[in-house]
């Protein structure tokens, strides 16, 4: 088996600008409230979004965790350092191996179901066994919590190229922010979708190790990686008052610059804030490092594009509109369109992408919230374009709400830069910066928690 090179760690800071990567930093303890001024709606458009249903409805399925799969087929593999977790960044062929993927749902529920992806595969992938359990520590799971996941009542599932597979309901209750281990076994040679920058350690067995999906101790899972393989989502059976926010974003949402294995990305911090405030929501992380609004960046386009994924417009359905229980879509993307413009007028291209997202989300009955683009320490055309896009976001009236992250996080003395103490480079935030970002967001502007008639009015 081949380890493959990391695209999200130990990179020169200059690559952060060009390719939207970053360097992890030490994480400070999280608190439910930050020091930043809360960002409220600064503009509102007319939405066709439907209000939540009444509170006396039965529990419903809500997406509690997701990771956007990427096309990594053309990336060049390289061997990692023994004992050091390294991302699987190519569609490496796996044979007779077991995988244990660790995910952290933002909300709890009385049952769950698992989504497996083969969206970018060219051949069918057969998962011969899939198990779900609560995580204990490392690759070990809590004894007695292991459950077999079935698909249309079968123990194995073959996922066709370009598709996902959603499991049958699994009778395993989970709490918010309780790690869940998803174990699966691939007997025949297969290539797997990946989300490159998991920033969370995952575990594989060695090739030829056989089926260890039901193991509790985790000893067989002796190969650590920092990418999610094949898993794309987890739904939980939750109260009708609980909903989800789907964030379409880039490396800033993916969490580059935050501490690995700490769930220190801003969607995690925002979901924790909501939980502490008594209005739990799932903040689905649809971030892909390097992603653009207007242009597809698939690995097949060349190494430079780093498998940055379909454009925000072209992945909107899979990563937002089709996610269970979503009530609001947040768009926090566009800066990579400026760093690597696909046309002489990137502002118009990004705005056209925003318009398409707004129209499709409204047609699906969802609210659309925009976040202004945060600084990247640029001058000249890139900064001019960023300011123009932010002006359109603030003044167009097309979005249902606007989160003015630029105003909340920029350096007042140098508006083209992130405020001191919130970053250790120039584009991505550190843990303090991501917490400050999450603390600046008005939960009421998201309207993703609550149901019709609920007294607090926050939905």
Quote the number of domains for the chain. 2
Q: What is the pLDDT of residue 450?
A: 77
177, part of any domain:
yes
Same domain, 284 and 388: yes
Same domain, 142 and 209: yes
Same domain, 88 and 226: yes
Same domain, 255 and 225: no
453, part of any domain:
no
433, part of any domain:
yes
2, part of any domain:
no
Q: What is the pLDDT of residue 455?
A: 40
C-alpha span between 380 and 182 (Å, rounded): 47
pTM of the model: 0.87
28, part of any domain:
yes
Same domain, 209 and 267: no
Same domain, 310 and 222: no
Residue 204 CB contacts under 8 Å (≥ 6 apart), including other chains? 1, 94, 97, 98, 99, 100, 221, 223, 224, 225, 229
* Contact indicator for 89, 367 with CB cutoff of 8 Å: no
Q: What is the pLDDT of residue 451?
A: 73
C-alpha span between 366 and 186 (Å, rounded): 37
Same domain, 193 and 335: no
C-alpha span between 291 and 312 (Å, rounded): 7
* Contact indicator for 186, 99 with CB cutoff of 8 Å: yes
Range of the domain at 81: 71-233
* Contact indicator for 357, 286 with CB cutoff of 8 Å: no
Same domain, 52 and 126: no
384, part of any domain:
yes
Same domain, 229 and 244: no
4, part of any domain:
no
Q: Answer with the one of 167, 200, 233 that is the final residue of a domain.
A: 233
* Contact indicator for 257, 429 with CB cutoff of 8 Å: yes
Per the rule left: phi > 0, alpha: psi between -120 and 50, beta: everything else, 109 is: beta
Q: Answer with the one of 207, 233, 259 that is the final residue of a domain.
A: 233
Q: What is the CATH number of the domain that holds 379?
A: 3.40.50.1110
Nearest Cα to Cα of residue 389 among 368, 375, 410: 375
253, part of any domain:
yes
Q: Answer with the one of 188, 210, 233 that is the final residue of a domain.
A: 233
Q: What is the pLDDT of residue 302?
A: 43
Same domain, 295 and 358: yes
Same domain, 200 and 274: no
Q: What is the pLDDT of residue 417?
A: 98
Same domain, 306 and 351: yes
C-alpha span between 49 and 363 (Å, rounded): 8
Residues 264, 269, 275: CA angle, nearest 5 degrees: 140
* Contact indicator for 238, 62 with CB cutoff of 8 Å: yes
Tens digit of pLDDT at every position of the chain (459 positions): 333 323 333 333 333 433 333 322 222 222 223 333 344 444 444 344 445 667 778 899 999 999 999 887 755 444 344 555 666 655 678 999 999 999 999 999 999 999 999 999 999 999 999 999 999 999 999 999 999 999 999 999 999 999 999 999 999 999 999 999 999 999 999 999 999 899 999 999 999 999 999 999 999 999 999 999 999 999 999 999 999 999 999 999 999 999 999 999 999 999 999 999 999 999 999 999 999 999 998 755 443 445 678 999 999 999 999 999 999 999 999 999 999 898 899 999 999 999 999 999 999 999 999 999 999 999 999 999 999 999 999 999 999 999 999 999 999 999 999 999 999 999 999 999 999 999 999 999 998 887 764 543 333
* Contact indicator for 75, 4 with CB cutoff of 8 Å: yes
């Amino acid at each position: 088996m081949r380890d493959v090179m990391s695209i999200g760690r130990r990179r020169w800071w200059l690559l952060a600008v060009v390719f939207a990567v970053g360097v992890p930093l030490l994480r400070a303890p999280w608190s439910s409230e930050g020091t930043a001024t809360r960002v409220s709606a600064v503009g509102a458009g007319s939405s066709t979004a439907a209000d939540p249903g009444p509170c006396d409805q039965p529990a419903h399925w809500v997406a509690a965790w997701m990771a956007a799969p990427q096309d990594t087929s053309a990336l060049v593999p390289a061997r990692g350092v023994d004992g050091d977790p390294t991302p699987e960044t190519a569609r490496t062929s796996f044979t007779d191996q077991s995988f244990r993927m660790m995910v952290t749902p933002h909300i709890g529920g009385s049952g769950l179901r698992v989504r497996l992806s083969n969206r970018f595969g060219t051949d069918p992938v057969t998962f011969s066994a899939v198990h779900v359990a609560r995580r204990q520590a490392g690759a070990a799971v809590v004894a007695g919590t292991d459950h077999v996941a079935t698909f249309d009542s079968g123990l194995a599932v073959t996922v066709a190229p370009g598709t996902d597979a959603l499991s049958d309901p699994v009778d395993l209750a989970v709490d918010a922010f309780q790690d869940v281990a998803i174990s699966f076994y691939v007997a025949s040679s297969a290539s797997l979708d990946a989300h490159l920058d998991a920033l969370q350690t995952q575990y594989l067995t060695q090739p030829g190790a056989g089926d260890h999906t039901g193991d509790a101790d985790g000893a067989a899972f002796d190969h650590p990686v920092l990418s999610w393989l094949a898993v794309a989502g987890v739904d939980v059976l939750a109260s009708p008052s609980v909903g989800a926010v789907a964030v379409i974003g880039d490396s800033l949402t993916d969490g580059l610059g935050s501490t690995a294995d700490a769930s220190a990305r801003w969607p995690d911090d925002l979901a924790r804030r909501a939980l502490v405030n008594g209005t739990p929501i799932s903040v689905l992380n649809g971030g892909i490092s390097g992603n653009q609004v207007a242009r597809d960046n698939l690995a097949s386009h060349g190494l430079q594009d780093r498998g940055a994924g379909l454009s925000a417009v072209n992945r909107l359905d899979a990563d937002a509109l089709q996610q269970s229980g979503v009530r609001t879509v947040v768009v926090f993307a566009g800066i990579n369109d400026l760093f690597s413009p696909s046309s002489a007028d990137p502002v118009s291209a990004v705005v056209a992408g925003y318009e398409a997202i707004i129209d499709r989300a409204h047609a699906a009955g969802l609210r659309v919230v925009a976040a202004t683009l945060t600084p990247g320490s640029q001058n000249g055309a890139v900064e001019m374009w960023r300011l123009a896009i932010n002006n359109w976001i603030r003044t167009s009236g097309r979005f249902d709400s606007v989160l003015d992250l630029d105003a909340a996080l920029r350096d007042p003395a140098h508006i083209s830069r992130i405020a001191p103490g919130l970053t250790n480079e120039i584009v991505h935030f550190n843990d303090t910066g991501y917490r400050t970002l999450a603390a600046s967001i008005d939960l009421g502007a998201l309207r993703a928690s609550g149901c019709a008639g609920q007294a607090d009015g926050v939905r």
